[in-house]
Structure 1
Amino acid sequence: MSDTTTGPVLAADGRPLKASLNRALRRQKLRAMMLIAPLLIFILVSFVMPIADMLFRSVENQIVSDTLPRTTALLPDWDGEGAPDDMIYEALARDLAVAVEAKAHTRLGSRLNYERTGISSLLRKTGRGVDEIGETPQDVLEGVNDIWKDRDAFGRLIGTSEWVDAINAWDGEDSSTRIAPEFNANSSFAEQFPGTTSLYASYVLQSVSEEDNPLGEKPWPILFHVLAQELPSATPPSDVPEELALALREAATALDGVVLDDPRAVFLDIDDDWGDQGVWTTIQTYGPAYTNGYFLNSIDMQKGLDGPEWRPENEQIYIVLFIRTMIMSLTIMGMCVLLGYPIAWLLANLPDRKANMLMILVLLPFWTSLLVRTSAWKVLLQQQGVINDVLVWIGIVADDGRLQLINNQTGTIIAMTHILLPFMILPLYSVMKTIPPSYLRAAKSLGATNWTAFWRVYFPQSVPGIGAGCILVFILSIGYYITPELVGGTKGVFISNRIAYHISSSLNWGLAAALGTILLAVVMLLYWMYDKIVGIDNVKLGG
């Protein structure tokens, strides 16, 4: 037996007591984690992940580099003066040939059209004519040797025999349930014809994405164009099939002196805008996979060749909207405090029967649709509406001088104050209900007037309720967009209305994400300032 005076203290099961305690604590923590796991998962899925996705979308710009990989790789070397050289037009022709087959050029056009109007239609128009590049060498090669008419000619020439067999086997079975074999190029051919090999790899990837056998599809004309460009300086490899090696030698002889298609001329013939420096500058500027362009647009700036620059004055709208949103939200919050404080005081001090009836009236708007309440304000506030009719009837305003209460900031403030007022009253009521009436009686018995007793005794104890109500009303108001959209017109809308427009109408999700991120940052900054000035610990919802 061990010495009990020097050995570890043991539990009933013979384990060291310290280890048993640690094991029990781990089990308790694990049980606690299992209890809160559903809530954590819900918060992660419904709150953290959407915010992370919004942050990513606000800087993500991969569609340009993914759709035009060859072009964006060359454009950084362009000096930005005039139109780029022929090499960049050549790269654009190859990229667009792939993009048109994948129908990605329209999505690319939509993205770039956010930065420069007209690029979307330019790319759609170009997509209908870019397939002409390569028809000249294709006609020559097919006229020299019929092997070029075979749809598998490029596959047998560029791919390894193992890949040819594998892709045919994949197509011979149910290709929709199997992963297509990865394209494997003949290394000696790829060394002599790198451009043709790269473009054919894109052709294979596009074909198998549509569950088609690339050896059974008609090759793109631009493959003949790139092959014809590389033939004069290349040596046909010896490890390709003999009939294809012969066809390559015959092609080199037949193409001697043939004028190949000029991508620059083809693009300019499709549309003169391909000679516009601004189009190429836009592609160059937004070529990187990640961009700060959305954030610059959110503060009325844009990316320029020399760095960020201000947009023209007639295009600057977002800073005005941010300022308007903050001012109107603070105004609505202040109106709710002025109107909600006396109502909450009545609720807290009236007899229960009367207080309950008043509380029903406070909660009644929650039982009515937000859209119905907003539409009702449209009826009340219009120039021929109820409010103006009453004012004219009692003689406060003339019939020809009716007040403009809708489609402006006034209408938005009135309607949103009514809608958000309960969110101010309820926190105030819950705090005021906990203030003992005896405090005021004690202050009056010591000689304080009604005003002094209220201001020095009652009001300080209700401040936590004011803080809670202000936070609720302010945060809710800056995110509202239905009410400002219906009653605000052009001068009473918030930044949230612009975010909703970019999500649902213009589909510029990147700009919407950037605007939302800035709005979130502003709210967090104001929350931090409130905590430093007032103290978040002073915010209470009761007790």
Structure 2
Amino acid sequence: MTDTTALLTTADGKPLKSALAKSQGRARRRAFLLVAPLFFFVLLTFIIPIGQMLFQSVYNPTFTQAAPNLVRWFDENPAGSQIDEAAFAALAADLKQMKTDKTAGSAGTRINYDMPGTRSLFTAAARKADKLEPPYREALLEIDKTWGDPMLWRVMRSAASALTADFYLAALDLTRDDTGAIISVAQDRQVYVTLFARTFLLSGLITGLCLVLAFPIAHLLATLPLARSNLLMILVLLPFWTSLLVRTTSWMVLLQGQGVVNNVLVSLGILGEDGRIQMMYNQTGTIIAMTHILLPFMVLPLYSVMRPIPPSYVRAARSLGASSWTAFRRVYLPQTLPGIGAGALLVFILAVGYYITPALVGGADGQLISNLIAFHMQKSLNWSLAAALAGLLLAAVLALYWLYDRVVGIDNLKLG
């Protein structure tokens, strides 16, 4: 059959098919140029940094660069091989080079991540490296008996590969034994799983409190005349115009032992001077402050789905014999589920990643996993572990997003 489009021509005699293709190509290029700035902005400020973070969580070449001879010995001798004189000779050669390059501290720090107390082991041995002579095993053991510890050699073998999953194991309070099997760390060193559990539990509690407080507020805004609801909406949006740091420090003034809340309770005779409530530097302070800060993020999605709901639906249910509770439960509430899901998703995701508020008002009991990530980034400088913790947090958020899509549907997302 003959393609009729190929036989048609434009006014200037060009084939219609090629003219259409050219016109569509121009439209596609114009559309791409319009979105290109946003695309490259998202790529440079979001996608690439996240990719670098995830790569950092499994890549740490510090030890491999500082100890090439020992890495070569590990490559030539599989796991389980006896630590012979050649291994100690390779270690001695690397220690001499570390002293010259001043990399003993960084190499020791990398091993110290998995076996605490070994940074000083490397720096002390590097200072005496020029005096090391064969047999190197006895020479190193004379400096410190720890050089003969099988656990140390297991950790160095693991660190000899720049690509490693050990940081994810550490982020889950796991480690490897002398044989390389994955085991739990000692009870007194289990920190991260507890913090993850606390983060998710507190975030869930804060999300629930925000929902309970925001639902009647959003319902009131949705049912009032537009002029009044707009005026009240300004009060809901007012916190967005105030610095987060100012709002957090305001709660510090209100909640501390000698703060406004306790002083009012004492002046009313509800509490005695020795019975002041401790609401600062604990989980209570974190919950109160974060609920206040995140409440508008729950109100807005709820309001966006409540406003279009016709009041006649509930009135019709009441006229057909339904009680107020039945009409609310079976008619009104199901129509607000997209807003409830969107608000809960937004508040929970913001809560699990909050840093400033828990750091200021949470104390030791109110800290979240984000505070520990910041500690490893700024203080311990264990960036790979911080990236692994952040990667696990990102995976949890993506899992929550997937669950929301399966239960509610991402097409029903209503954010205001």
TM-score with structure 2 setting the length: 0.91
**How far off is 1:428 after superposition?**
1.6
Question: What is the match of residue 174 of structure 2?
Answer: 301
> What amino acid does structure 2 have at the position aligned with 1:310?
S
Partner Cα separation in structure 2 for residue 131 and residue 423 of structure 1: 63
Unaligned runs of 5+ in 2: none
The range that moved more, 317-326 or 69-78, is 69-78
Please tell me whether the aligned partners of residues 332 and 416 of structure 1 are also in contact (alpha carbons under 8 angstroms).
yes
**How far off is 1:280 after superposition?**
2.4
Partner Cα separation in structure 2 for residue 125 and residue 372 of structure 1: 48
Q: Are positions 1:363 and 2:237 aligned together?
A: yes
Question: What is the match of residue 36 of structure 2?
Answer: 37
Question: What is the match of residue 154 of structure 2?
Answer: 281
Partner Cα separation in structure 2 for residue 73 and residue 269 of structure 1: 25
CA separation of 1:12/1:324 partners in 2, compared to 1, >3 Å: closer, same or farther? same
Please tell me whether the aligned partners of residues 195 and 369 of structure 2 are also in contact (alpha carbons under 8 angstroms).
yes
> What amino acid does structure 2 have at the position aligned with 1:280?
W
1:324 aligned to 195, 198, 201, which one? Answer: 198
Question: What is the match of residue 412 of structure 1?
Answer: 286
**How far off is 1:5 after superposition?**
8.8
CA separation of 1:13/1:64 partners in 2, compared to 1, >3 Å: closer, same or farther? farther
Question: What is the match of residue 113 of structure 2?
Answer: 114
Secondary structure of residue in 2 paired with 1:290: coil
Question: What is the match of residue 291 of structure 1?
Answer: 164
> What amino acid does structure 1 have at the position aligned with 2:398?
M
Q: Deviations over 1:352-409 (max 9, x none)?
A: 4433332222222222221222122222222332223333343444443333322222
Q: Are positions 1:354 and 2:353 aligned together?
A: no
> What amino acid does structure 2 have at the position aligned with 1:284?
R
Secondary structure of residue in 2 paired with 1:384: coil
Partner Cα separation in structure 2 for residue 481 and residue 296 of structure 1: 24
The range that moved more, 507-516 or 489-498, is 489-498
**How far off is 1:515 after superposition?**
0.8
Q: What is the correspondence of 1:322-471 to structure 2 with a 5 Å cutoff?
A: 322-471=196-345
Q: Deviations over 1:445-504 (max 9, x none)?
A: 444444444333332222222222111101100000111122222222111111111111
> What amino acid does structure 2 have at the position aligned with 1:289?
A
Question: What is the match of residue 89 of structure 2?
Answer: 90
1:490 aligned to 343, 347, 364, which one? Answer: 364
> What amino acid does structure 1 have at the position aligned with 2:250?
A
Question: What is the match of residue 170 of structure 1?
Answer: none
Partner Cα separation in structure 2 for residue 501 and residue 5 of structure 1: 70
Secondary structure of residue in 2 paired with 1:117: coil
CA separation of 1:79/1:514 partners in 2, compared to 1, >3 Å: closer, same or farther? closer
Partner Cα separation in structure 2 for residue 370 and residue 463 of structure 1: 29
Q: Are positions 1:57 and 2:56 aligned together?
A: yes
Partner Cα separation in structure 2 for residue 497 and residue 291 of structure 1: 24
Partner Cα separation in structure 2 for residue 303 and residue 330 of structure 1: 33
Please tell me whether the aligned partners of residues 58 and 510 of structure 1 are also in contact (alpha carbons under 8 angstroms).
yes
Q: What is the correspondence of 1:88-237 to structure 2 with a 5 Å cutoff?
A: 88-133=87-132
**How far off is 1:22 after superposition?**
2.0
CA separation of 1:303/1:367 partners in 2, compared to 1, >3 Å: closer, same or farther? same
Please tell me whether the aligned partners of residues 285 and 362 of structure 2 are also in contact (alpha carbons under 8 angstroms).
yes
Partner Cα separation in structure 1 for residue 194 and residue 176 of structure 2: 20
CA separation of 1:4/1:535 partners in 2, compared to 1, >3 Å: closer, same or farther? closer
Partner Cα separation in structure 2 for residue 442 and residue 312 of structure 1: 63
Secondary structure of residue in 2 paired with 1:493: coil
Please tell me whether the aligned partners of residues 154 and 180 of structure 2 are also in contact (alpha carbons under 8 angstroms).
no
> What amino acid does structure 1 have at the position aligned with 2:235?
L
The range that moved more, 295-304 or 384-393, is 384-393
Please tell me whether the aligned partners of residues 81 and 277 of structure 1 are also in contact (alpha carbons under 8 angstroms).
no
Please tell me whether the aligned partners of residues 57 and 513 of structure 1 are also in contact (alpha carbons under 8 angstroms).
yes
Question: What is the match of residue 18 of structure 1?
Answer: 17
Partner Cα separation in structure 2 for residue 348 and residue 68 of structure 1: 67
> What amino acid does structure 2 have at the position aligned with 1:291?
T
Partner Cα separation in structure 1 for residue 411 and residue 201 of structure 2: 26
Secondary structure of residue in 1 paired with 2:176: strand
> What amino acid does structure 1 have at the position aligned with 2:96?
A
Q: How many residues align?
A: 413
Q: Deviations over 1:175-195 (max 9, x none)?
A: xxxxxxxxxxxxxxxxxxxxx
- Quote the RMSD (CA, aligned, Å): 2.6
> What amino acid does structure 2 have at the position aligned with 1:540?
K
Secondary structure of residue in 2 paired with 1:121: helix
The range that moved more, 107-116 or 12-21, is 12-21
Secondary structure of residue in 2 paired with 1:522: helix
CA separation of 1:494/1:7 partners in 2, compared to 1, >3 Å: closer, same or farther? closer
Please tell me whether the aligned partners of residues 80 and 277 of structure 1 are also in contact (alpha carbons under 8 angstroms).
no
CA separation of 1:7/1:27 partners in 2, compared to 1, >3 Å: closer, same or farther? closer
**How far off is 1:29 after superposition?**
1.2
Q: Deviations over 1:414-437 (max 9, x none)?
A: 110001001111222222222233
**How far off is 1:21 after superposition?**
2.0
**How far off is 1:532 after superposition?**
1.6
**How far off is 1:321 after superposition?**
1.2
The range that moved more, 326-335 or 490-499, is 490-499
Question: What is the match of residue 179 of structure 1?
Answer: none
Secondary structure of residue in 1 paired with 2:130: helix
Partner Cα separation in structure 1 for residue 383 and residue 55 of structure 2: 11
Unaligned runs of 5+ in 1: 134-259
Partner Cα separation in structure 2 for residue 502 and residue 492 of structure 1: 18
Please tell me whether the aligned partners of residues 65 and 72 of structure 1 are also in contact (alpha carbons under 8 angstroms).
yes
The range that moved more, 454-463 or 325-334, is 454-463
**How far off is 1:522 after superposition?**
1.1
Question: What is the match of residue 398 of structure 2?
Answer: 524
**How far off is 1:506 after superposition?**
0.7
Q: Deviations over 1:83-129 (max 9, x none)?
A: x3221122122223333332222221221111112221222222222
Please tell me whether the aligned partners of residues 381 and 411 of structure 1 are also in contact (alpha carbons under 8 angstroms).
yes
The range that moved more, 4-13 or 354-363, is 4-13
